[in-house]
Structure 1
Amino acid sequence: MAEEANEDVKARKERERDELYALDISDVEWHSAPGTETHEERVEIAYLPGGAVAMRSSLDPDTVLRYTEAEWRAFVLGARDGEFDLEERPRAEDVVSE
């Protein structure tokens, strides 16, 4: 019974993803964080039907990721909670070879 439910959820999510990527987003309005200039590298998002969101980099506007409302909500809540905070790592130029 649980396996059947998992298959139903998987099929529903695949269907949602396929529908999301089938949307024509050529006319969407892209938004970026306030204070960023158009010539700066930045993340841009567009709001899609049903609460979905598209996201791209200003440096690669042809590569667009799309998220359902539930996926986007989970990401935003996780980011607010610090789940994606990066730990300080030494940069390659700071590492001294012996």
Structure 2
Amino acid sequence: MRQSRFNSIKNNIETEIASIREALQKWTSYNETQDPITVSELAGTGMSYLAWKKRMDQRLFELSRALSRMEGENYGTCADCGEDIPIQRLEAVPDTVYCVGCMRHREG
């Protein structure tokens, strides 16, 4: 059961990565074609392109790191206390490295 849920999480991560890459490619295409749809999509977020790109690059990094952890044996293990992270938390926040208790402690 847990393995099938991990596989589902992995598929969700891969889908999000593909979506982000598509959005980044769409922006690059905009620069070449001046597609007004892309401009309005970004303008609607209230973010500058540089802030948006920085956020997308960071998200790609986090998701890629989660996929790497899935390849190893430490995915789903809290980096602070070493306990298993509940599968529900991993489904909600697939790139997390902390259980809820340790995250609360870190946030103060």
User: Shorter-chain TM-score category?
Assistant: 0.3 to 0.5
Q: Which has the higher strand share?
A: 1
Q: Which has the higher contact order (CA 8 A, sep 6+)?
A: 2
After TM superposition, the score normalised by the length of structure 1 is 0.34
Q: Which has the higher helix share?
A: 2
